[in-house]
Amino acid sequence: MKSTPLSNTHAVEYAQRMNKVLDYIDQHLDTPLDLPTLAEVAYFSAFHFHRVFLAWVGETLGDYMWRRRLEIAAVHLAANAQATILEIALTVGFGSSEAFARAFKRRFGCTPSAWRAGTPQRWADELASTRLRHVNSNLNQRHSKPDQAAAPGTSEDTGLNNLEFKMDMKVKKLPAVRVAYMRYTGPYGAGVNRFWMENFVPWCLANGLDGVGCYGIGLDDPGVTAAAKCRYDACVEVPANFVAKSPAGIADLPGGLYAVGDFVGTVPDISVAWTELLRNWLPSSGMQADARPCFEYYPPNAKYDPRTGVLECQICLPVRSL
């Protein structure tokens, strides 16, 4: 019998249910995760859930959890120099440092200790690559539009020096926030910007949520996770009784201590700022990053210039004392 394609409404519903499962996995990596429990989270039959997961995510449930455990571990190894390899292994659900080391080498081609030792060079390479793309992009734009070349001193005159990390970071206790969110999957950068403009902002306007604080949450590290599998949540603050209309879902952004810095720049500049924050500020701060999500906060009065792409936001890194 020929199968009937999912309607758009059903496809969105499936996406929302699968997103709940993926979020639940990330929040419980340090505990045993079995198929019946995850099927219940998604409101699927345990009998069919494995095949539904494979069809939707493109990986078996076991392969996906294995990948996520190791990718989260790679992020912690880079950002938390004070944590031991065993502590990180236990945090992501491995029972011993030996089993963790074998799995990590299979995924990344090196031992956890070698990955940690190579972090400064990886971050330096990432910064150099991002800055080179930024400069080439500006040059290409100016060559293609000579009549629009920016004069020295204007907001478009963004040379390498302007990409240095200069934010004044302050550690603050932020409250938990209830948000409505829409999820984008794919390469960060221009794709995320289009998602905001073409999908998220129109949804907010249609639901009376203009002039409200918004959040951008990169759920994956593009230096670790393949670009096509990177996930990003565009979020808007909502009251406790708000009922999200499809295709949005509801989530709670955890409160607690965050390192917060005011950012002004373009989308490519945000990547540089995050790398500089982790490479330069965090090691000398007396703090370490924890497992809560990093995010960008866009206050209601945050400015955005569609002509130059320059925007304002606050970069927020979850931290705790050493």
pLDDT at 101: 97
Structural domains of the chain, with CATH: 8-117 (1.10.10.60), 170-321 (3.20.80.10)
Look up residue 200 and give its two tokens: 């998220």
pLDDT at 138: 55
- Beta-strand runs (E) in the chain: 170-174, 177-185, 214-218, 231-237, 249-253, 256-265, 287-289, 295-298, 311-321
E strand or H helix at 119 = helix 119-144
Q: What is the residue type of 173?
A: K
pLDDT tens by residue, 231-240: 999 999 999 9
CB atoms within 10 A of CB 187: 15
In the DSSP assignment, the letter for residue 283 is: G
Helix%, strand%, coil% for the chain, nearest 5: 50, 20, 35
Give CA separation, 134 vs 157, 224, 277, 293, 307, in Å: 12, 21, 19, 26, 16
Q: What is the residue type of 286?
A: G
Q: Which pairing describes strands 311-321 and 256-265: parallel, antiparallel, or unpaired?
A: antiparallel
Give CA separation, 171 vs 11, 256, 280, 294, 317, in Å: 41, 10, 15, 14, 9
Look up residue 59 and give its two tokens: 């990986």
pLDDT at 156: 39
In the DSSP assignment, the letter for residue 304 is: B
HSE-up of residue 252 (Cα within 13 Å, Cβ side): 9
CA–CA separation, 175 and 21 (whole Å): 25
Low-confidence ranges of the chain (pLDDT < 70): 1-11, 130-131, 133-166
CA–CA separation, 86 and 100 (whole Å): 8
pLDDT tens by residue, 142-198: 444 434 333 333 333 333 344 455 678 999 999 999 999 999 999 988 899 899 999
For the question of whether the overall pTM of this predicted structure is more than 0.85, the answer is no
pLDDT at 193: 87
pLDDT at 99: 96
